[in-house]
Amino acid sequence: MKRIVWGAVILLFLSACSSGTYNIPKGEYQSRVQVLGVVPILVDNRPMNYPHSAEVYDLLKASAQNKHYRLTEQLRTNKGYFDVRPLDINAEMTALSLLSGGGSYDDSGRPLGYQFDVATVSALARQNVVDALLVVVFSGEQIEENRRSRTKLESLRTTYNSIQATAKVVDRDGKILWELTGADSYMAVDLQYPDFDEAHFNRTNQVHVKNISVAGATRIITDGEEVDSAEPSRMYRELFSTIVSAISPGLLDALR
């Protein structure tokens, strides 16, 4: 009886620790993806209702350069694959072809990821001799959600602009094996906030949505370091940790 209870506790713990969604059984994922290719981090500069979107996109593109090598190192360290290979390709040109199918969104505007161009996926997998590709994309999104004040007494439901990150593992035939999308997508840069303090001190119920400054966005993206620093900022560390913990097969995955 104790073994049954302990087994249930382990299963609950493992489920709570995982992120994203597998679209095939994990055992099948392990057998099908022995060699994983990591695509350079892509940026989709979608239109946003934010006045400094061009500057933020430029910052993201500069900061993302070569960061996929760090992600590759972390995946290798976990020893969940026979090999993990960073792809040495141009990120902007790859985004033009790979993301040409466009993205989809849930009712609130959260990104559900992209319909990858199958020909591009197949060509990249074949040229780099990998079983599947890990594709991470930053994109500007407009998401309807409810935000609360610091006191939790006030709230404002409206559309807020932000930079979200999605990730998918796609095999050489274009099938999505795992994805970090929708409610699981990573909030990279929150570009707007409701100014409850302004409404409070002006004795009004009208709450304005304010934009963070370019300087503020820069500090979030870079942690105050050089934009092209090889050391990942907190934003990248959190995102990479989420991805690595989710798609690094281990001995206990058979229990999941």
DSSP 163-190: EEEEEEEEETTS-EEEEE-GGGSEEEEE
Residue 153 is predicted with a pLDDT of: 87
Counting every residue written for the chain, the total comes to: 256
pLDDT digits (tens, 9 = 90+) for 82-96: 999 999 999 999 999
Taking residues 240-250, report their average pLDDT: 91
Residue 62 is predicted with a pLDDT of: 96
pLDDT at 256 over 80: no
If one counts every other C-beta atom within 10 angstroms of the C-beta of residue 109, the result is 16
Q: Which residues contact 113 (CB under 8 A, 6 or more apart)?
A: 103, 104, 137, 166, 168, 176, 179, 181
Run of H or E including 38: strand 35-38
Per-residue DSSP letter, 98:
H
Contact in structure between 42 and 138 (CB atoms under 8 Å): yes
Residue 163 is predicted with a pLDDT of: 98
Residue 40 has which token pair?
A: 């350079």
pLDDT at 26 over 70: yes
Residue 230 is predicted with a pLDDT of: 81
pLDDT digits (tens, 9 = 90+) for 83-132: 999 999 999 999 999 999 999 999 999 999 999 999 999 999 999 999 99
The rounded Cα 155 to chain-centroid distance in angstroms is 27
Q: How, if at all, do strands 176-180 and 155-171 pair?
A: antiparallel
Question: What pLDDT band is residue 8 in, cutting at 50, 70 and 90?
Answer: very low
> What span, in angstroms and rounded, lies between the C-alpha atoms of 232 and 223?
9
Contact in structure between 135 and 116 (CB atoms under 8 Å): yes
Question: What pLDDT band is residue 14 in, cutting at 50, 70 and 90?
Answer: very low
Residue 250 is predicted with a pLDDT of: 65
> What span, in angstroms and rounded, lies between the C-alpha atoms of 177 and 113?
13
> What span, in angstroms and rounded, lies between the C-alpha atoms of 113 and 199?
36
Higher pLDDT, 244 or 9: 244
Query: Exposed e or buried b for every residue in 125-139, given b needs 16+ CB within 10 A?
Result: beebebbbbbbbbbb
Calculate the average pLDDT of the chain.
90
pLDDT at 254 over 80: no
pLDDT at 242 over 60: yes
Residue 124 is predicted with a pLDDT of: 97
> What span, in angstroms and rounded, lies between the C-alpha atoms of 35 and 13?
28
Q: How far apart are the two ends of the chain, measured CA to CA in Å?
A: 20
Residue 219 is predicted with a pLDDT of: 96
pLDDT digits (tens, 9 = 90+) for 140-192: 999 999 999 988 889 999 999 999 999 999 999 999 999 999 999 999 999 99
Residue 229 is predicted with a pLDDT of: 83
Residue 253 is predicted with a pLDDT of: 54
Residue 79 is predicted with a pLDDT of: 87
Strand, coil or helix: what is 248?
coil
